[in-house]
Amino acid sequence: MVSFLSRFQLFSLLFAFGIPFFGPPAAETPVESPEPVQAVSPTPTNRVDTFSAHGLSSPYRLYAEDVDFNKPVRLIVRLHGDGAYEYDDPSYRLDDYAAIAKKHNAVLVAPRTPDYAGHPTWWENSSVNASWLESLVTDELLPEFGLAVEDVVWSGYSGGAEILGATIIPSYPELAQNQVVMKGGGNAPAETSLRDEANEPDTVGTLYFVTGANDDGSQFNQRFNALEAAQSGAEFYRQRGYDVIEEYPNGVDHYSLDQAAILDRALSSSR
């Protein structure tokens, strides 16, 4: 109470003598607008990551170092063959693919099939595996690098080629606008018709079917006739007006196909 009366008496005295007790208003200090902060994208690096969708989860290897995003960039999606050996040991095939991707200023992603039941494949349970792939590309990778669906290039070998020809192209034609390179396989869809949106072949890019002439299942105890599968797929799409390129090099089997060189030629033939 004493302190309150003292303050009250002080204010009364100040008021009686005409002394302002609130003081003059402070001079307005101009407020400078903050300088805009330029968004800086993280430096792309090579990494191993995991993606989950549709109840499936699986890792992928990403190669993005030295990509110049001030220039046109493509996303190469490389699908391994049955067994996922190329994924497990990057020095077998993947390092060669990474060098080709770097040459063409492209990001390379090599996912491991989310099929963990028995022998890992893409073509078994292909519908759900394809859905997982579509989500990996459209929900994870394209937004990360600011790319569009027309920037996607597919490259599949053996079982990876099978899911491309039989499932990805007919089910997700919007993701096949650039190029689809199928090596050592590439069978036709099980159904006799394509999805409605795919009935216009101009929406799909060039389809490459490249398989060795000796890759007919008769060597190395192979039961898969990749030559027959590739020819069947090529014929299926050609009959429907798609842009199809076929190569069946003589003397080449399932394991001697120069996969990286085939991808290099395909990438060199477009932008």
Q: Does a structural domain hold residue 253?
A: yes
Higher pLDDT, 35 or 155: 155
Q: Does a structural domain hold residue 228?
A: yes
| pLDDT mean across residues, the chain | 85
End-to-end CA distance of the chain: 86
Q: Does a structural domain hold residue 35?
A: no
Residue 56: CATH number of its domain: 3.40.50.1820
Enclosing domain of residue 183: 47-268
Q: Does a structural domain hold residue 18?
A: no
pLDDT by residue (tens digit) across 216-232? 988 766 789 999 999 99
Q: Does a structural domain hold residue 29?
A: no
Q: Does a structural domain hold residue 9?
A: no
Under 8 Å between Cβ of 187 and 167: no
Q: Does a structural domain hold residue 70?
A: yes
Number of domains in the chain: 1
Q: Does a structural domain hold residue 25?
A: no
Both tokens assigned to 174: 């919007």
Higher pLDDT, 179 or 223: 179
pTM to 2 decimal places: 0.82
Residues 6+ apart with CB under 8 A from 7: none
